[in-house]
Homo-oligomer: A and B are copies of this chain.
Amino acid sequence: MSAENFSDEPTRLAETIVPLFARQAGAFTPVAAPDGSRVELITGADDQDDCAVFRLTGNHDLVVGTDYVRGPKFRLYEMGHLDEYDLGYYLVAANLSDIAAMGAKPIGLLSVVRYPAEMDDVLFGFVMKGIHDACAAFGCPNVGGDIGGAERLILAASALGVCPAGGALLRSGAKPGDVVCLTAPTGLAGAAMAYLRAGIPDPVIEGLLPSLLANWKRPVARIGEGLALAASGVVRSCQDTSDGLKATLLSIADLSGVGIAVDERAVPVPGSVAAVAAHVGVEPLALVLGDSVDFELVFTVPPCRVDELAESVDFHRIGEVVEEQEVVLVGEDGSRAALPGKAWRHQGGGDGKA
């Protein structure tokens, strides 16, 4: 590794960013729909203009969202479990997860990377490389951004996606009778955090830790799944679980004006999450449903269409949309209870996610 260098912004732009993000417009695979609609990237980050430019022809719904990721307060980073590359990667996944939840294809990401004076060129390069590699993994160019000094590491981004007109998956479309589905188990990210914050090493859980931490180090935005859900034409509502599964269910119910009956036996509980729950002394479903920052998708489908959807997308069926506007956990014996777990982080919380 080279000696520490602390280049100024124009130098970092010229030496790190431009090479890393070169020839974007040429490398962009145009989005083309059967009706002739098309999206191209005309001016990318490497063109260093005031803005990036996309050309859209035909009929599109354009979806846009934004997410901030904590720097040093991002606790696992402070604790040494995540590095600068991981934070850059995470920033992209967190933002593209919102695009996935709309059933859209990501076309571009804008990133804000502000760094403290003690972050040298190598560490700065790791942040940008994490952003670059995640963008490559998810097929979405980093078309612009803002770099510069700050008191501490600050990461934020916005993401853009497109889908056929009328095809975006909203949170508000759930109807009574719909089956409530989940792309994959939740609670892994929260279990990693709970275990590491407890600070009591356990030999079994140490062995599970890499897989628990994978949700933080290489989180997956469910873009392919979101596109398949949108293409199916049978999904009535969808949201990602970045605020936790409980918060997601409450949000879909609230915005759709319905209730949800969650089947306690049907909610997947990974063994590693159960092991952490036992270790830290909470019930497993509190980790699975609580404020674990996973990027799975919750969606609802009419019961007569759910089997057909299962042929093209993997998911768990965890409950049913009901008329009564209440979200409850239904036990094997028919008992009804409030969902366990923390619903949403509050002012001052430091979980690393917006």
Q: Which residues of A contact B (CB under 8 A)?
A: 6-10, 12, 42-43, 47-68, 70, 73, 97-99, 101-102, 104, 108, 110-112, 114, 117, 143-146, 148-152, 154, 156-161, 165, 168, 170-172, 239-240, 251, 255, 344-350, 354
Contacts and interface: CB of A to CB of B under 8 A. Distances in A.
B65 A347 contact: no
A42 to B, nearest CB: 7
8 closest Cβ contacts across the A-B interface?
A158-B158, A8-B346, A51-B65, A51-B63, A66-B110, A50-B101, A50-B98, A146-B354
B8 A68 contact: no
B50 A239 contact: yes
Given A73-B150, A165-B57, A52 B48 contact: no
Contacts of A67: 146
A150 B352 CA distance: 10
A319 B112 CA distance: 34
B52 A63 contact: yes
A188 to B, nearest CB: 21
A186 B149 CA distance: 24
A51 B161 contact: yes
A102 B144 contact: no
A50 B102 contact: yes
B53 A168 contact: yes
A298 to B, nearest CB: 11
B73 A151 contact: yes
Contacts of A144: 64-66
Given A9-B346, A9-B347, A66 B172 contact: no
A172 B47 contact: yes
Contacts of A171: 48-50
